[in-house]
Amino acid sequence: MFLDNRDGDNIDYISIPSEILREMGEVRVDFEEVKEKGFDGEMHDYMAVIWKDPSNATTKKYDVNNHIVIAGCDAKVVNGKKLQCKKKELYIVFHPIDEWISHHIVDLQSKSKR
């Protein structure tokens, strides 16, 4: 994420490597600051990066470098049984807010864009 404060514009840009976008196909990414229970059982502040809506999916939570990763696949039911995922997809990544600020935000603050 880039915060461009040059010339007083205050514009936010989202930067995602093009190879990831090509692999994922059509992507709509949302960001939301949330409180979520971590794997330690305590509530923490996170930046939720929402890649896909998990409401109609079979998902699991994973601990990846102190991030909460929600991955799985679209829920498919055949003859009353949920099918296993052949390939897991990313639904939500909860970044610890301190890590998000220190590693994922570039703040452009020079005096002008020229």
Q: How is residue 44 written in tokens?
A: 């923490």
Tell me the torsion sign for CA atoms 58, 75, 90, 94: negative
Confidence of residue 93 (pLDDT cuts 50, 70, 90): very high
pLDDT at 114: 55
pLDDT at 14: 74
**Max CA separation in the chain (angstroms):** 64
pLDDT at 56: 84
Beta bridge partners of 57: 74
- pTM (two decimals): 0.72
Summarised one tens digit per residue, pLDDT across range 4-57 is 777 777 777 777 777 877 777 666 778 899 999 999 999 999 999 998 888 888
25 or 89, which is more confident?
A: 89
Summarised one tens digit per residue, pLDDT across range 56-65 is 888 999 999 9
Average pLDDT for 90-98 = 94
76 or 57, which is more confident?
A: 57
